[in-house]
Amino acid sequence: MRLFPSLLDNDRGGRIFMGLLGVVCVLVPIFNLAVPETSPFHMSTYTVTLLGKYLTFALLALSVDLIWGYCGILSLGHGAFFALGGYAMGMHLMRQIGERGVYGHPVLPDFMVFLNWEKLPWYWYGFDQFWFAMLMVMLVPGLLALVFGWLAFRSRVTGVYLSIITQALTFALMLAFFRNEMGFGGNNGLTDFKDILGFNLQSDGTRIGIFLASAIALTLAYLACRYIVDSKMGRVVKAVRDAEDRTRFLGYRVEQYKLWLFVFSAVLAGIAGALYVPQVGIINPGEFSPINSIELVIWVAVGGRGTLYGAIAGALLVNYGKTYFTAAMPEVWLFALGLLFVLVTRFLPAGIVGLLRRRGAEAAT
């Protein structure tokens, strides 16, 4: 039996990443659940959740790498798709609270009771069903990407124009979600979740379950992305990145390729958001803020774009750095992040992966 699917035959980085992820997925549950808390080898549930959060960020970075690294579309609004997926999941979790809310209303979430709303807005219907919520997790970001991408790519909005327009999109959504009238909890967002599919969200077992679900989602998404970039479509997409006009003259419908890749990427981002929310226990409009979307682009840039595994490595590294710095020296973090932006674009255009590759090539000669 093969250890890795044939998709990864030419993907050494991918195989390393898969192997590591597999090992982590075996070790984490053991260290968290089987090793007693008194042992120094015990892994706290906080750490498990943190790792799970990183994995969702890695999935998000993967979705950005797919369009930026392979198609040259720099989206500064991917956080919006992530947040929309998160909101869809949050709405499901809100409906699961039921009568356990502060006001004990059987249907309405607390914030609606607080705002004196009489009944559930129509767009909240169906979210009590898990399958419906999961459908929406993919459908809402996908549809938004479809409409937005159709409008943008059709009129050939490219380069920095597209970047800023996507940033305006997420900015507009942030302003909209801050409004109480929108019916998504306004400033406070959605929080105070109790359980998912009947499992208590606070229990160790559930946390491990969501961690594993994130790992599986990341693995499947990685394989799907690898499949796409290795397919014929992937080659056309790379051609679009390198010479858009030439590809168009060769008779390819450039807009179609860009559009479907963009939609797929948005769906991945939505799934990442849906996995993120139950782990951190809150979703609020701050997730839409433009700085989040730009930050995730730098994860990809640090790791090395156009490699898929580079994006994952970058997301894990930068977020580990963020966790460390914001706890140890909060004032330094923004300096560090800012410098990271400058140094990576200036000296490491291919990211850490590119650096390692160059070292490897030098060693081989």
Partner 1 sequence: MRPWRGLAAVLAAFILLLPTLPAAAEEADYDFSAAVDALRVKSYADKEVAISALADTGNDRSIEVLEGLLVGRLFYRKSDQRMVLAEPQDVDYEIRDAATGEPLGTTGKRKLKKIGINNKLRKHLRGTIARLNLAHNDPAVRMAAVKEMMRNLDAAASDLLRAAMARERDVKVREAIRSGIALADLDSPDAAIRLRAVTDLTGSLLPEARNRLSGLAERNADGSSSGPDETVSLAARKALQSIESKLALNRLAETVFFGLSLGSVLLLAAIGLAITFGVMGVINMAHGELIMLGAYTTYLVQLAMPNHLDYSLFVAIPAAFLVAGLFGIAIEQGVIRYLYGRPLETLLATFGISLILQQLVRTTISAQNVAVSNPSWMSGSMEINPALAITYNRLYILIFALLVFAALLAVLKRTSLGLQVRAVSQNRAMAKAMGIRSEWVDAMTFGLGSGIAGVAGVALSQLTNVGPNMGQSYIIDSFMVVVFGGVANLWGTLVGAMSLGVANKFLEPFAGAVLAKILVLVFIILFIQKRPRGLFPQKGRAAEG
Site residues for partner 1 per CB under 8 A: 74, 148, 151-152, 154-157, 159-161, 163-165, 167-169, 171-172, 175-176, 178-179, 290-291, 294, 297-298, 301, 331, 334-335, 337-342, 344-346, 349
Q: Which is nearer to partner 1, 263 or 344 (CB)?
A: 344
CA distances from 115 to 87, 103, 143, 345 (A): 19, 12, 30, 47
Please report which helix (H) or strand (E) contains residue 7, including its range: none
Helical segments of the chain, H only:
12-29, 45-71, 78-97, 110-114, 130-154, 159-178, 204-230, 232-242, 244-249, 254-280, 290-303, 309-328, 330-347, 351-364
The CB-of-169 to partner 1 minimum distance in angstroms stands at 7
Q: Which is nearer to partner 1, 242 or 331 (CB)?
A: 331
Q: Which is nearer to partner 1, 115 or 334 (CB)?
A: 334
The CB-of-308 to partner 1 minimum distance in angstroms stands at 19
Separation of alpha carbons 6 and 221, rounded Å:
16
The CB-of-326 to partner 1 minimum distance in angstroms stands at 13
The CB-of-170 to partner 1 minimum distance in angstroms stands at 10
What are the DSSP calls for 196-236, one per residue? Answer: ETTEETTSHHHHHHHHHHHHHHHHHHHHHHHHHHHSHHHHH
Q: Which is nearer to partner 1, 278 or 285 (CB)?
A: 285
The CB-of-175 to partner 1 minimum distance in angstroms stands at 5
Residue 195, beta-bridge partner list: 200
Whether the Cβ atoms of residue 277 and residue 86 lie closer than 8 Å to each other: yes
Q: Which is nearer to partner 1, 135 or 176 (CB)?
A: 176
The CB-of-225 to partner 1 minimum distance in angstroms stands at 20
Q: Which is nearer to partner 1, 25 or 143 (CB)?
A: 143
